Structure 1
Amino acid sequence: MDFNANTASHSPVTPEHLNNRKSEPMGVDNFENKTVSKPPSEDAQDSADAGPDPDSFPDGGFQAWFCIAGGFCTVFSSFGWVNCIGIFQDYYQAHQLSSYSPSAVAWIQATESFVLFFFGLFSGKLTDNYGPRWPLLFGSILHVFGLMMISISKEYYQIFLSQSIVSAIGTSFLFYPTIAAAGTWFKRHRALAFGIMVSGSSLGGVVLPIMIQRLIQDVGFGWAMRITAFLLLGLLIFGNIAIKSRLPPVPKPFTLKEYFVPFSELPFLLLAIGSFFVYVGAFLPFNYIVLQGRDAGLSGLADYLVPMINAASIFGRIFPAHLGDVYGVFNICIIFTLLSGIISLTLWLAASSTAPIIVFAIIYGFLSGLTLAIIPALVASISDLHKLGFRVGALYAFSSFGTLIGSPIAGAIVTSQDGGYSGLKIFCGVALITGGIFIIFSRMKLASGFMVKV
């Protein structure tokens, strides 16, 4: 029966109608279901009030790619800055902090990476609650201010506060809102979109080290930092304009228990452990290859090793990322992570002259570029988009302890070997392979069979 139709009582009664009536129980529940149905106009209004469909991804269009372009600029300014910190290890040891050990100097870069990742707990949560605009603005101001303070820093504690705390917190409030906003626009091409956007960090790792080193020679350290800060300020202005989430924020009250909920999911926990070990080892070539290159006699060419790694990683973050959309992001991440560890234990371990070191820098940059770029896509594939910022932040906060301990441990290994690098290279390779194994375990909990797209 249709209680919304005025002419229903005048319709002829046929055996088909009777059969239909017999199949419908005439209880209260059925009566309520019939009478509370809304006219189509009301359904359309409810749909409009509900906002965009979270499961309907445009996977393209001007606003989606405009967001990726803005994200490219913010990632260039944040993660790209952190990617070039290897040059500071060398510079500080030769100038302001020449009286400190390599391990002590390494704490500056290690803490900077740690803060970038750890503060994702807070920047990701704020993004989920209020959208990306305010976290991005706060991060932009803090990052630029920190760089300006580095330009006038002379003592260890001044450099540490400016670079490892103030600037680093700013980069965290730039990176996670960008990832969360971009994830709302893409699904089928998410890994490719993330790869293009995160390649900004690789380009930053190419441009910034060369630019800073040349500026230091021409105008001194202080003005080199100020000019860099103004360049990043211009990029961040564009990023603040372009980055927008497709979905409205869903404010939820803060609870400490919420931070532990994702880790109750075994695939997420295993992925987080894998990411931890990846970040123990992944940045060691960035931080130490310049020093090793100088010891191997590369002289002026050593300054270009970090830009070489980052230049190769641009291609590693874009083209293989598309394979993740085709064959599964977990599958591709596992392959490239294991290969990164293998070449560290083989090619880098044996490299002691110019050609092998350069070849390693290029191959490692390509392989590790994909690994570091695709992890957010792994998290997005097993997460509710309304919680993406928080869940990415939670995973990276856990992984941040890997970046915190990795570089100082490596520095201590180098010191214990009286400047030798073989132990550091073994440590790097073993950490990456261990990370890859845990990501395999995470994938196995999601699906069995290597032919399954995961």
Structure 2
Amino acid sequence: MEDPKMTKEVDNENQQRTGCSPEQPDIPDGGFQAWLVILGCWCGMFCTFGLVNCIGVFEAYYVSATGPLHRYSQGEVSWITSFQAWGIPFGGIMFGPIFDRYGPRWLLIIGTLIYVFGLMMVSVSTQYYQIFLSQGIVSAFGSSAIFNSCISSVVSWFKHRRSYAFGVMVSGSSLGGVIMPIMMNELIPRVGFQWTMRIIGFMILGLLAITVCTVRPYLPPQPKPFRLQTYCSGLKEPAFAMTCTASFFFYWGLFIPFNYIVLQSEKAGISPHIAQYMLPIINAVSIPGRIIPGFLADKAGRFNVAILVAGFTSIFCLALWIPGQSQGALIAFSVLYGFFSGSFISLAPTLVAQISDIREIGSRQGTCFFFQSFGALTGSPIAGAISASQNGSFLGLQLFCGFSLAASMAFYIFVRIKIAGFRLSRV
């Protein structure tokens, strides 16, 4: 018979080594229903973050000579796309606890209707405030309900293969970031921006119907009263607080290349026809970039891989993006940045899950998404303001992006040391 004291000591040692709670319930870690949920969540990622990955196309169109916001600066226009990127994770502070209590069904249904309605309103908007409200607020919070429901649902179906499952799921956003920019660049000259947005809206409605029909949580919802302490309690844990801080810094720099790579390519003398494919390149290579690192993270440790990802993306920004002015150099940067930065989208939720009780995953993810959201909100406008203060130069925003990612790496290193010290182990 096992010694209960020895068993407890082993559990405590495993908890310190991995950051996981030994009291988490059994999870199937696969099976037909689990992978059916992945299919639905894949469609959800295609429609939500897939469109966020098109922010460079929106930015370029809005400030173009024929765009509706050509009288506004790049920094002013970037507030629209930044609010769109902000609203998706920020909504987790509200949708996470709702998920824990009631499950994803109504969040998905109502979120789908609001999201598609917002996109349809973008198609008829011509003024700054109209586009800001429809794209940056309405569609952003509708997509947030979908995004957070998908993230929290997948966590409840996988444990040991969680990073790999997340990688497969969020590859949908990468493919969306390949297909939708090409759709927009090809359709806008043919049918105009208004009908382009309507076509994308109807496509998203069809895909999200699959999401609504397939996404279910493994653990039943547990109705309980709302408590502000639910959000704050996790921040008392140093590992969780530093993980949230690291996520903020990564999101602070993450979307800057997405916003400005097209404009920078055109300014560097690359033809607009080639420049418009920079975003699809970034998103295409991020498909394997979201699956392969996720698979490796399950084997080598999720925080270990997160440190490498943040470090490499920082190096690519500082050592390749800054000196790269030729077409070949910018394409090389797009490929490398897309591969490594894409993996963070799949890794970030698994880091939170590793150091959290799975039964409170919605609230814990919502808290971390809250920090991420303000990184996404302020990063690109700050970069735009830096560029404007330097008479359109991209050097300042490139430095800001690179050092933000480096700060993220530093905090992930602190978390790893807190969990496992300096010894080599799978963390």
Same fold (TM > 0.5)? yes
Q: Supply the AA of the counterpart residue of 2:55.
A: I
Q: Which residue of 1 aligns with 2:127?
A: 155
Work out the CA distance in 1 between the residues paired with 2:240 and 2:33.
30
Q: Which residue of 2 aligns with 1:352?
A: 325
Work out the CA distance in 1 between the residues paired with 2:386 and 2:288.
32
Q: Which residue of 2 aligns with 1:184?
A: 156
Q: Which residue of 1 aligns with 2:334?
A: 361
Residue in structure 1 matching 2:37, options 55, 58, 67: 67
Work out the CA distance in 1 between the residues paired with 2:423 and 2:311.
15
Alignment of 1:230-245 (within 5 A): 230-245=202-217
Q: Supply the AA of the counterpart residue of 1:346.
A: A
Work out the CA distance in 1 between the residues paired with 2:51 and 2:92.
17
Residue in structure 2 matching 1:122, options 94, 100, 117: 94
Work out the CA distance in 2 between the residues paired with 1:120 and 1:298.
39
Shift of 1:117: 1.3
Shift of 1:450: 4.8
Work out the CA distance in 2 between the residues paired with 1:391 and 1:187.
16
Structure 2: segments with no counterpart, 5+ residues: 1-22
Is the contact made by 2:24 and 2:357 (CA closer than 8 Å) also made in structure 1?
no
Work out the CA distance in 2 between the residues paired with 1:173 and 1:153.
23
Q: Deviations over 1:383-407 (max 9, x none)?
A: 1111111211110111211111111
Q: Supply the AA of the counterpart residue of 1:382.
A: I
Work out the CA distance in 2 between the residues paired with 1:335 and 1:63.
33
Q: Which residue of 2 aligns with 1:253?
A: 225
Alignment of 1:334-353 (within 5 A): 334-353=307-326
Residue in structure 2 matching 1:282, options 223, 241, 254: 254
Work out the CA distance in 2 between the residues paired with 1:385 and 1:136.
21
Shift of 1:348: 0.4
Q: Supply the AA of the counterpart residue of 2:312.
A: L
Q: Which residue of 2 aligns with 1:198?
A: 170
Alignment of 1:307-318 (within 5 A): 307-318=280-291
Alignment of 1:215-230 (within 5 A): 215-230=187-202
Q: Deviations over 1:41-91 (max 9, x none)?
A: xxxxxxxxxxxx962222111000000010000011111111111111110
Work out the CA distance in 2 between the residues paired with 1:65 and 1:226.
31
Work out the CA distance in 1 between the residues paired with 2:363 and 2:110.
17
Q: Which residue of 1 aligns with 2:376?
A: 403
The verdict on how the C-alpha distance between 1:54 and 1:274 changes in structure 2, with shifts beyond 3 A counting, is closer
Shift of 1:449: 3.0
Is the contact made by 2:162 and 2:350 (CA closer than 8 Å) also made in structure 1?
yes
Q: Deviations over 1:329-361 (max 9, x none)?
A: 000011011110011000001111100000000
Work out the CA distance in 2 between the residues paired with 1:451 and 1:278.
24
Work out the CA distance in 1 between the residues paired with 2:127 and 2:168.
38
Shift of 1:372: 2.2
Q: Supply the AA of the counterpart residue of 1:150.
A: V
SS at match of 1:58: coil
Shift of 1:310: 0.5
Is the contact made by 1:54 and 1:247 (CA closer than 8 Å) also made in structure 2?
no
Q: Supply the AA of the counterpart residue of 2:313.
A: S
Q: Supply the AA of the counterpart residue of 1:93.
A: V
SS at match of 2:356: coil
Q: Deviations over 1:220-252 (max 9, x none)?
A: 111100000000001000011111111101112
Q: Supply the AA of the counterpart residue of 1:130.
A: Y
- Does 2:25 align with 1:55? yes
Q: Which residue of 2 aligns with 1:295?
A: 267
Q: Which residue of 2 aligns with 1:207?
A: 179
Work out the CA distance in 1 between the residues paired with 2:27 and 2:222.
18
Q: Which residue of 2 aligns with 1:266?
A: 238
Shift of 1:257: 2.7
Work out the CA distance in 2 between the residues paired with 1:344 and 1:450.
30
Q: Which residue of 2 aligns with 1:165?
A: 137
Residue in structure 2 matching 1:85, options 30, 55, 64: 55
Q: Deviations over 1:140-178 (max 9, x none)?
A: 111100000000000000000000000000111011111
- Does 2:367 align with 1:394? yes
Residue in structure 1 matching 2:390, options 399, 407, 417: 417
Is the contact made by 1:341 and 1:429 (CA closer than 8 Å) also made in structure 2?
yes
**Structure 1 segments of 4+ aligned residues over 6 angstroms from their partners:** none
Q: Deviations over 1:90-145 (max 9, x none)?
A: 10001100111111001101111111111111111111110011111111111100
Q: Deviations over 1:288-320 (max 9, x none)?
A: 000000001112111000110011111110011
Aligned residues: 402
Is the contact made by 1:114 and 1:403 (CA closer than 8 Å) also made in structure 2?
yes
| TM-score (structure 2 length as normaliser) | 0.93
Q: Which residue of 2 aligns with 1:25?
A: none
| TM-score (structure 1 length as normaliser) | 0.87
Work out the CA distance in 1 between the residues paired with 2:49 and 2:210.
17
Q: Percent identity?
A: 48
Greater RCO structure (CA 8 Å; 6+ sep): 2
Q: Which residue of 2 aligns with 1:445?
A: 418
